[in-house]
A and B are shown apart, each in its own frame.
Chain A
């Protein structure tokens, strides 16, 4: 743990900057609603299409809502949705991955065939169809995104766990007569924990992107929620005369995803897992 901290400290400046930006995002999500100047859904907080000023830092939108307050309140929505989706995906994917790697029998074999097949389903197209068929509530959206992400987490964690289950200490634990559950939890899981952490961080960034994209297309958060993807799509018609309405949530979204992605690189290097993976959503 100490070593990891020292490695993080010696990381190049962009990583440190990214971590700082990410910390600000988290802070805004936690405390934002306490200090945001306006109610994010309050109409006519000012005249519509006011350009940025001390009263309205990011101006106002077509309904006269304060864009700054909407962006600040949206942080919580965006992060909560992304964390739920990636958390669920990692929980399900990592558990199944460890179990399958531990089993290494026909169950594993046939399950992986099914996973291989499901992996080649285009996530965005199918999500759009499923969300319009099942209704676009948050629970359905999170489960849909988590389903597609869990498949990818599963393959990564299973591969990492396969390297562990062949180690002597696992065989020893097995020969001691420990139950499968206890071997998986006490011997295998701690050794793939760093991969699990990196996966969680990586998938959270992807989830922000994916859910933002769904909302942008009108299949995610419903108006008047201050979700950034939705805000960008609602502001699109006014891009010529009021660019700040679209710029503010765009920059918030971009800085969140970039800092999350650099942070993932940083912890991945600090934990000695290397970097550069295949983009797979």
Chain B
């Protein structure tokens, strides 16, 4: 129990500190965007008095540190503020009684879309990378497998937006199997939803799998050359038994760590892939909101994505820690 605490506690603490640092960086970067919320809401032609009034309403007259603390505590409590852009123009007219759309109403449906996409990608990814990783490591002397490994190596290097573009060209432009735009909000049925998910999910899966297979290969090969596997083989155990009882259990830990690291990678990958397929998820919303300078939405999405990234890294770190026997007893 003590080693668990000693392993987990400092890392969780570091993750929390990182989150605070990242939140400050996000807040600061958003502050640096041209103009402020008041001028953005009222537009170019607004008089100085109205801007001043609006700044008071939005509490922009307070010092930055006070606003940061206010924003962060609001964010933690689930009060993410209101979108500057999706407010109705008529309701902005009176600075006092604005009616605009809460950020959460805008962001949460996007979050669920992105989670559906990520889940679909992971469902394809886990069996694919496990099987390919094992097969290419165990039968690495076969000609076909060495070509497969070369293909995997090439796959790790191809940018995800190029994979996406090529899939788009082949499957929705040439073959017309899938729609070129994944507007899943308009999906009428489950099959329609599925056909819109396929290309973006496969793009993410391919990018993740190539990398995972490569890491799996290395760890399986290391296990296969270990003394206990050699002993098991010398004892006369069948190849199947050696692989299932000795190789697989020992290679699964590193594979798990790679999967969690892939989750962190997914944060960046999802932004690019959503833009390629016009998929209405968090990533594309982030890009759109940055271009529209919709600061409350930018802050909320950046915080969510950063939190997932940090938690995934924490998870990978903890798995690595538990797998390392020196850390366990030392």
Q: Is the interface of A mostly helix, strand, loop or mixed?
A: helix
Identify which of residues 27-49 in chain B touch chain A, using a CB-to-CB cut-off of 8 Å: 29-33
Interface residues of A in 107-125 (CB under 8 A from B): 116-117, 120-125
Q: Does B119 contact A (CB under 8 A)?
A: no
The answer to whether A133 touches B32 (Cβ under 8 A) is: yes
Closest to B305 in A: A125
Q: Which residue of A125, A243, A253 has the most chain B CB atoms within 10 A of its CB atom?
A: A125
Q: Does B108 contact A (CB under 8 A)?
A: no
Mark out the residues of chain B between 1 and 53 whose CB falls within 8 Å of any chain A CB in the assembled complex: 14-15, 17-18, 21-22, 25-26, 29-33
**Residue in B157, B162, B261, B265 whose CB lies within 8 Å of A260:** B157
Once A124-B268, A133-B29 are accepted as A-B contacts, the answer to whether A212 and B169 lie under 8 Å apart by CB is: no
Report chain A residues within 8 Å CB of B125.
none
Residues of A within 8 A of B233 (CB): none
A235-275 interface bits toward B, Cβ cutoff 8 Å, 1 = contact, 0 = none = 01001100100110011011001101110010000000000
How many Cβ-Cβ contacts under 8 Å join chain A to chain B?
139
Q: Please, which residues of chain A bring their CB within 8 A of the CB of B302?
A: 125-126, 129
Contacts A239-B180, A257-B157, A262-B157; A217 near B271 (Cβ below 8 A) = yes
Q: Does B166 contact A (CB under 8 A)?
A: yes
Cα-based distance from A125 to B283 in the complex (angstroms): 9
- The distance from the CB of B2 to the nearest CB of chain A, in whole angstroms, is 23
Chain B residue numbers with a CB within 8 Å of A232 are: 161-162, 165
Contact of B168 among A14, A116, A124, A239 (CB under 8 A): A239
Binds A, one of B90-98, B210-218, B241-249, B321-329: B210-218
- What distance in Å separates the Cβ of B307 from its nearest Cβ neighbour in chain A? 9
How many angstroms from the CA of A213 to the CA of B165 in the assembled complex? Answer: 13
Question: Is A105 close to B, CB under 8 A?
Answer: no
Residues of B within 8 A of A (CB): 14-15, 17-18, 21-22, 25-26, 29-33, 150, 153-154, 156-159, 161-162, 165-166, 168-169, 173, 180, 211, 214-215, 217-218, 261, 264-265, 267-268, 271-272, 275-276, 286-287, 290-291, 298, 302, 305-306, 309-310, 313-314
